[in-house]
Structure 1
Amino acid sequence: MVHATHLTPSEIKRELAILLFEQDRLTLARAAALADMPWLTFQHLLASRGISPHYDVAEFEQDLIALQQTEMP
């Protein structure tokens, strides 16, 4: 079935990240991580598709926790 999409595994992850972000199932930082993209690059990708960043305080707090968990010691 994946072959039918004519997408690479990385493109599939990016598309899934976009879809989950658009459905408010992932925060911006988590969607960018799923897409293997820096969050700013992912945000530009969203903008190029006309998807607003719908970002609130709760999502910001979740992203701070996610960033702290991924920081190098």
Structure 2
Amino acid sequence: MQITIDLPDALQISEADLRTELAISLFQQESITLGTASQLAGLHQIEFQQLIASRGICVHYDIEDLEQDLNSLREDGW
């Protein structure tokens, strides 16, 4: 999907910064996953995790996520 937004020049924000802020906001709202947020921000997942940690934002990871990860590891032979 492509969205075009006209921003006032006075805003002085780069496209990369805007994408990052959007990714953080959508992640905080639990609208997108960590992986999707990282891609939207154009960052490696670890870099995105470091960024949100620096802002005091926790990674959403609950029991269901843990169980899915464990099942995935089992399926892969771990």
TM-score relative to the length of structure 2? 0.69
Aligned-residue offset at 1:2: 4.8
The Cα RMSD (Å) is 2.2
Alignment of 1:1-73 (within 5 A): 1-56=7-62, 57=65
Q: Which runs of 4+ in 1 moved over 3 A?
A: none
Task: Tell me the distance in 1 between the aligned counterparts of 2:60 and 2:53.
Answer: 11
Residue-by-residue CA offset, 1:25-72 (whole Å, 9 max, x unaligned): 0100000000000000000000000000012418x67xx9xxxxxxxx
Specify which structure has the bigger relative contact order, considering alpha-carbon pairs within 8 angstroms and separated by 6 or more residues: 1
| Paired-residue identity, % | 39
Task: Tell me the distance in 2 between the aligned counterparts of 1:25 and 1:2.
Answer: 27
Return 5+ residue gaps in structure 1 as ranges. Answer: 65-73
Count of matched residue pairs: 61
